[in-house]
Amino acid sequence: MTDNLLRNLHFDIGEPEPTVFQNAIDIYQDGTVPFALDEHGRWWALSGHTHKGHIGLFRGTCVDDMQELYPIHTNFETGAAGSAFATVKYPEGVRSRGSVWPFGLYVVPGSRRLICYFHNETGWNGHGTGYIIRGKGDGEPDFRHIGMMHSDDEGRTWEFDRWILTSEEVCFSELYTPDNINVKGQPQGSTCLGAGDFSIYDDPKGEYIYLFYNLCHHDSDIDSWLDCDVYVARTRRRTDGLLSDFVKYYDGAFCEAGNLGRESKIVSGLWHPRVTWFEQLGCYVLSGISTEASHRFVTDTVLLCTSTNLIHWSEPISLEYKGKPFGQHYCAIVPNRNGHPSVIPGNDFSFLLCWNGSDVTRYRTTFSG
């Protein structure tokens, strides 16, 4: 375990400020907002999800001037199994269903193509086909997958491509087999809820796009979340409009398939990971939210870890704000000026925080020491 390079710094967190990502314009952000940089220095973003309000396409040069251009339209259905996601099944053979939560965005250089990676769950917006660990039904604890879609008209319309990341464990338990497929479910007890709750890091210093994701476990017998840890996969960046499959990090190397491959934990007890490079400190910072084994599970306290190689991370630190632990349900770190949205060039930046489906609030922050 490496030393946390933030431990001896002082953080001055400012007063909350509104952002453009608001319920007042029919945007109900649920997760961290994905930003991407194009060759003209413009930021692009997607905010919202498909079962409350709408997903909006935003553009600007930094957080200060981001504005919604238009609501997006998917050229595929979401919702019920059998019609959702162009009828493409999950890699386990189960019919896909539910919603789109955009958590990763990439602009192909020299092209009008945008690529979005999105979170999906089996227990939300299934239009009567949703399921959880114990059987048919809506809500939690359900199962996650990560999908990919693209747009060739600057984000107005989107085509579904494929499911790109799936946990090693299948997306159901032995208590209920969806669609009656001939595949053995996970044993009753500690159940892995699949790969999701993620963000991407488009490394400006290298040739890869990294995807940091969670695997969570739940025991429905005692109605308790057991753990939530961070894993990573990567894909080589291309400039022809296509992206290859993701490869998971496992046992010291990127060597396992994105779908159904094995994976090794890189950080324990952290929800919805997101990575930023801090130039002045010469390190990566991974932000996320603390978790605990309980019915409540997510504590809404921001945790920060540091690394110099994206694989080996320090123990986390937490921050205080007005005498209390700082945080909400989701946390992103972004620069206060134009440039790469995942690079902090100086000693100031902003935290972007939100709850489930809430406005996104900004906290300008400086560090010293």
* pLDDT for the residue 154: 96
Backbone angles phi, psi at 85, to 5 degrees: 55, 45
Contact by Cβ (8 Å): 174, 187: yes
Contact by Cβ (8 Å): 274, 283: no
What is the maximal distance between C-alpha atoms in the chain? 59
Model confidence over 83-133: pLDDT tens digits?
A: 999 999 999 999 999 999 999 999 998 888 999 999 999 999 999 999 999
For residue 31, give the 3-state DSSP assignment.
Answer: coil
Measuring CA to CA, which residue among 64, 70, 65 is closest to residue 48?
70
Model confidence over 37-70: pLDDT tens digits?
A: 999 999 999 999 999 999 999 999 999 999 999 9
* pLDDT for the residue 332: 98
The answer, as to whether pTM is greater than 0.95, is yes
Measuring CA to CA, which residue among 188, 210, 189 is closest to residue 313?
210
For residue 85, give the 3-state DSSP assignment.
Answer: helix
In the structure encoding, which two tokens stand for residue 164, read together? 């790109």
Residue numbers in the chain where pLDDT is lower than 70: none
Report the percent of the chain where pLDDT is more than 90. 93
Measuring CA to CA, which residue among 51, 50, 87 is closest to residue 72?
50
Query: Alpha-carbon distance 284 to 298, whole Å?
Result: 23
* pLDDT for the residue 13: 98
Query: Alpha-carbon distance 19 to 350, whole Å?
Result: 11
Cβ neighbors of 341 (< 8 A, separation 6 or more) are: 35, 36, 37, 43, 334, 335
Query: Alpha-carbon distance 253 to 211, whole Å?
Result: 15
* pLDDT for the residue 295: 75
* pLDDT for the residue 241: 87
